[in-house]
Structure 1
Amino acid sequence: MPVERRQASHGGHGRHDHGGGHGSTKVTKRPSSSAKRRAIPTPNVEESETPDYSVNESKEESRETEENVPTEEVPNRLNKEEEKDEGEENVSEKEDSEEPEVVNGNSDVKENDKKWAERSKDEDGYNIRSFNDNILEFTEIFDSDRYRNVDENYPVEDLMNVVAQISNTIEEFKQQTQNSQQQLEGLRTKMKQVKENIQFSVSRKAFEIRTDDDLQSIEERELTEKLAKLNAEIAKANSDLSEALRLSAETESTAVRAQLAAERAKEEAKRIEEEIELRAKQDKKRKHEEAKKMEELRRQQEEEARKQEEEKRAKEAEWKRREAAGVEKASVWESWPAHEMQLPGGGGLACIIRGKPNSFDESSVTCKDIDQLDIELTYGPQEELVGTIIQLAPTSEQTKLQNSIYVAIPFTLSRASVHSREAFVKADKNGEWREIPSTEVTYENHKDLKFVQVEIKEFMTLAVMTRLKRDYVTFSKRSSKLTSTCDHRITVTVARETFYRKEHILLQVQPVDSATVHDVQTRNASCKHLLASSPIMQMQWEATEFHKPIVITLPCPPNPAKARKIAQMRKIKEEKMKNPQRNIPVPLDIREKEENQGKQSKPKPKKKTLQEQLAEINAPPEEEKPKPTKWYMGDYAHNDDDENDHLYLVARTGTGKWFVVPEVEIAQVKLDLLQFSLDKPLDQFMVLRVRTNTDDDLIPVMSSAIFELLQKRFVQVVVKQRSDNPFDTRLEIAPVNKVQKIVKQMNEDGFEDGPDPSQIVGVCEGDTIEIHFRGNIQNNSNVKTPKFIYNSNVMSSSSFFLSEVDQYLQRNFNVYRGVIEVYRAYVIVPDRKAIARKESVLDENSFCVRKEKKKNLLCEIPMNIPKYHVEPSPIPHQAPVVIRNDSDPVNDDLMRQLAAEMGEEWRKIAITLNISKARIQAIIRNAQITDSTDEDARYQMLITWLKKMPKSIDKVTVLTNAFMKNGRPDLAERVRMKDEAFKRKQIQSH
């Protein structure tokens, strides 16, 4: 019996039970403390043989139940035990035989623990401790800085391998947990079946025992006790099973959390990998863009260097051309025949071409004018278009120029601009307009025109423009002096060894006249203290520093108060010369004697210098005392009597800002001539003469105002309509000083109707003028928005036909009304030097399109066009009113008499008679339309009142009261007399 129990206890936890294999090995657990307690029985001395056996059987059965013993063996064992209990007679022997069972049971439990530990360590089964150690190792791996810091060298592949290992471990743990849960569910089912079998067997045994009257009570008690113990053991087994299920659920939840953590780790690894890939792509893209930008920058630098080199070569060629004066080439082309090319459509002379005889054919070249809107002609600072843009093209594609040809293009230039401006030619070379060498020439058969001639070797588009005169000079180590061809008073004096090598200098002078200063004073309130300004000097230097100062001399108008004083003194002097005082003749001997005495007493006066003469002129007379300075609210009074002023030298930076050059002493050499020294090169500079109370911060503002004013052209917009066709309209933009001439010319062309010229507006050379329409007028041509380019020296105009937008609008007017809107569209191009001075080479804005387009509204001009399709409404014919009621004295004769005698008070009488103002206005309008008299209007008023009156009302009383109220009692008396006569007549008839 003990041997069977030991075998059962040892065989309950076999590796191959419930299917065996690796799965059963993973769910193997150590025996719990409750199982150990169940293996140790409680001794009971009072029990009989049968209870002792039953206790051992229950212990054995409980162990078998815990170790998952098949339930089919339990009834067989019970039957065998019952048979042995009946045959045995000594209870003490059973108790003695029970003691080794207990010892064997304890040894079995210890053996199970030992075997479980051995299986966990030695066999290939699943080890929970190993799982926990792996989890700790994975946690420590992710705590390392290797996986925390994400950079370019992040171990992505190692991270993916670790995440794969974690996923495999969690999957294995999850599988073992599921197997354990399934086995526990099977154990619970088996234990339930054992419990039911035991209850059924005990109930049947108890029923059989009750048949014997002698043993019924004892067996019943034993069975009851045995059942109770079995129930207790089963309850404990159920509690252990519940605990195992709880542990299994916790294990499963832990596995789920671990799986979620692994999935999150996998997602995090995937995100990190994507982020690393994205950063790699971004770095690659950034490096590509930087390389592209550097390449673009390199190309731009090469282009700038190429342009600078071309400009340098052009400058050197210009200097050589000016030095050589073109004598040799002139002798070559002057003997060649001149071919005059006419513009198509009778546009006049286009150019004169000279080509080498026997190699140039006039018929192989065509010449036509180009609309400026079809090209992108670029304007430099202070450049103006002065001629027609012509295009020279071959008659066939095979035609090419064998030798160079000389093209002379006519241009127009005013007399005022000849002294400060010069003509040059720009050519379109591969879409870029560049200057080409040119010279001014004249022709005997065209003495009224000026020509500028260029040498070309291929067919191209040419445009004649003007700019400020340029002076090219080359300085060496020797001392030299540069005098401007624009104004001989402007000089640049260079001392010896100022430059260590040859220095090429380009000088341009922009005049600033008194009219410009006056305009600046009136347009800008900050420039009210400005007195005068020198010309703006524009110089190009190759050197960045001077070894010795350079002396600049330039003119500047004097203080107006001092100029007026000098002019007054000259006037007095001229008057004295015209009217000399008569001297009384003195005898010759006396006069000689006085002269000899004077020579002996007075030394001969020395000749005064220019500075002394200027000081005497500026000195006030002895009899006049200097006037005190007038102050008002902390400022000088606005008077022109103050002869004191200050001089400032201001310069312009590459970014366009003006600043005062410090520590510069400006000496006034003459009344209108200044001199100062420069220690460093300045690109643009000027001298301002201002009042003594001028704030230093306003000096750059004045300079900027003058410079911007010289860039603009002040014009007026003139819109005129043809007299015989008001829909034919012409719009011209003319300078302010040429508006009257333009209006007169338009009147001669038949454009006499239209509004007055617009207000004065400012535009620049080369601006695009756009014309928009608003209201009930529009452009009837295909081009809804007419455009043209403004040029001061070329006619800037546009013609269009107007029409109405909707003929059913503005029905209350006899014309269609609208507005012409004139816009100015221009392009802003930053200075190259300003762009080159940028510190950031990789600035993204520097690689964008440099040209910026803007558009501003210049003015609005109201326009009217007639309604050509609307016929005037016919004059309404009023039906005659006949009064047929003879029972009342108020009849047609009385109305006529009253209308003839009433005056201007009839409107007041009409209001008193309750006639509406609208009806009174209608009566007046109808009288004007039909050329009726005022008497007819008054009669219509009385008839209107009479038609409104009912028959039952006393019309005589109403009419007399109205006349009395408005100061006509005579008419009221006439109405009463008419009424009395009518009543007497009625009485006599009866």
Structure 2
Amino acid sequence: MADIEALRLLTTELKSIQTLPDPPTSYDGIEKFDTITTKVIDHAFNTTQHVARYGEAISAMLEEMRSELNQTTKKIEEQIKRALVGTNGNLPSKDMDYLLLLQKLEMKKLRLEEFMIQTQEIMDKVKQGVSVTNGDIELLKGCLGSWMDDKTESYQAEQKRLSDERDKRDEEARNAKAAEKRRREEDEERKRKEEEERRQKEEEERQKREKEEQLKQEEEERKLKEDEERKRKEVEDRIQKEEEERQKKEEDERLRQEEETRKIEEMERMMREAEERTKLEAKKKEEEEKRRRDPANWTPHTYRRPDGESYSFHRDICCHVFAMPDTLQEEDLECLASDEWRENDEHILAIGEQLASSLTEVKLKEGDKDLKEPIRICVPHCSVYDSSDEVIIKASIDGGEWTNHQPVTVPSRQTSHPDLNYAGIDVANFRSVKVLAVAKTRSQEFSVDKSGISQASSLDKNIKLFVPRDTFHTPTKLKLEIRQMKDHILSFATQYYDHCRNVLSTSSVMAITCDALTEQPIELDLTRSAPKDKRTTEKGRYIHLYKCRGENWKIAESEIKGSPTDVSINLPSRKDAYIVMEIEGRWGSPNEEFLKAADELYFHSNASIVRVVAKQRADNPHILILHCVRREQVSLRLSELERLGYSVGPDTSKEFVLVDGQAIIVRCSGNITMTPESEVQVIFHAYMDSAKSEVILQAVDEYKQKEFKEYVGHLHFEVVKDSREGAIYIKTSGSLPITLPKRVMQQPRTLRARIRFPHYLTTLAKFLAKKLTIQAKDDSWLKAISSLGSRREMENIRRRAATRCVNPNNEYEICEIILQDWMKSKPVQEDKIKPIIRALKDCNWMALSDECEKLINIHKNYLSDECMSEMASKMPNDWSSLARKLGLSEEDITSCNNGSEGSNEDEAFRMLCKWRVSDAVVNSGIDVFNDLLGALETLQNCNDLKEHVRQTINLISKE
């Protein structure tokens, strides 16, 4: 590692030179600077001479190594030549390895010589660099001496001289090195050419020997191949002959087997095809039968109410009956729906259940009917607005007990009114069945086996049910209901009920029902929510109560787990139904008081706070209407009654708490009584909204109360005791003052224009004539018209209409006259609308029949004389501008003015009466109020009338 040592020495000397101090600025430090510099330079000179000697030693060693390598190569070549003397210049193939070895040695020698040349060049550079370094050191010494001897000599001149000398020495060194390099390259080129000539000659001799040897071998191989080819051909001919014979036998055998296989496969294919055809036919029949038995593919029979009532939740629909085709016809059943059933069946609804539909009864007209599949009865029901409630079906088959059923799905596309809510039940083998839709609290079902369960409720995350092991020996269904206690009910109870005055708060009411008796006590874990008012919880205590089937309320054992808000309630074994509640009560109150309070709170947990609205007609105060509505709907109901003309009389009663199905009795006292009955019972239903009654008021003695301008009396309200099992009765009553005018009511305004029959029949005749003659193909409209009466009757009406019309070819005019003559031919009290609707449906004019029903409803309820009078009172003075916008002619407008002895309101009233039977209203159809509002938007000073029309449009859209 001497080379590394040399590098380290040179690096040390370089650092010593780099750390020399700067020359002094005065002559005082010259001697010291000279001493330090001379010492460093002498040491560096000695070191560089030592390194130069190392380079000379390496060069000498390389020359000696090159000489020794040439001698070794020559010895190897001579030994190979002596080894090949006995071969007459021909080298056997087995001695080729020796030649390859010789070639490899030659190549390695050339690479070694190139490396040594490169090394020699590097060492020359090292020696040259050392010389330069020594010269620089001498130059530095000379410069220092010159500087010290003669300060007057210019440093730049001395530097230039020294630089020229150094350049000269460098030039001489480069020239010497170039001459040496040229000499060395010439020697190497000469040696290379000699070596190439030698190698070329040897290669030619080798190739010649190889070619002769190759020709000899090829000749021998050719003869050997010919012999082998001849033998191989003989063997192949023999084998080919044998193979052809074998193939022929195999081909014959294959053809025979293929023929047998083909026959077998053909027989199997025919059998398989026959079997597939049989399966396909059976599957097709099965699918057809399955599709035939699927209620989703059945066409329903629609039964309507005979009384013509059309509440928003049923639209005159009694029920839809789905039956498998060819098993039951529409005329085989009789369907009735009624809201007047509670007197005989008042125990149908259990506590907590709320009526959601009318009672529907379906009967078979003739004995038993063999039904292959159960029929599906679907009844319309009210919308359930409370998210915690669900709709179920209660049914009684052949007069049996009422049972609960989960409603089946009803495809809305199969019903005549898809926008209604339906609940269905499947029934088989019956003579009569009663169906009722009720709303009840949603429940969660658990399936419990012998291992028990511990599961949180999906209805309320704060409630968890724990059923221990061996509570049930077989899989048993367990149902959990959670009914939230409404804040306003609790507030009302604590204010008015004596036993609830010390109740501060309650939890939800939890009901557990099991299909079998429990063998082990079960637990109900309750996590109490954070109280809204911390002060209230600090002065209250929590009591946990439960009630089993047929028993009274009891105090339950409870245990606090972890947090004070986590409570575990223990329920006893050998029971199948529990009702659980947590009550927070004031300290010092006895437990017996809370047991009675639990009974009252449980009964009213699903109750509503209601008011009784009593209003009299403005044009006839003797007519009184009573409504029992929830308190949040009072203002809306008052607005609706005012729109219908019930705007005078008392306002609303005090608040009552009623459960669904509970009734209020209304009586009169003082000098006013009700007829024909002296008292009226109003039954409340939260969803049905049907707790209303209309009564006639009259004075008991017209000669009494002479000191008053009106007859004075009172309406008394009293909550009726609920006779259902478990019902709690708390007597509650109230009253309202009521008056009747003594003077005779003014007669209603009469029209000067004479009207033969109601305006809505005139509009219906025009509207129906226009629609039929436009939509009908050819004279098919005659079929619908002809079905209104007997053939002879309709022929006579048709013949008279043809003689009265101006243009006998105008079908619209003929159809309108026929309809009007038919209506006039019927008695006044006879319904003329139902036969028309029925005739349209029989002729498959379903859309037109629905449109006619809506049109009649609008004209009866919103275009009556009372409505026209109310609109006229809101009409601006310039009503003629609106008349022109509505399409009335100048002649009609003039007729409303001429001979008028009334006010502007009377004239506007006559104008509106002409407009409601005009062609513009007929063209508008059911959009008549939208067109009226459009005409009003172009006028000013009629904001009250615009608002009235908008409210009417909203009421129509809700129906």
Q: TM-score range by the shorter chain?
A: 0.3 to 0.5
Structure with larger RCO (C-alpha < 8 A, sep 6+): 1
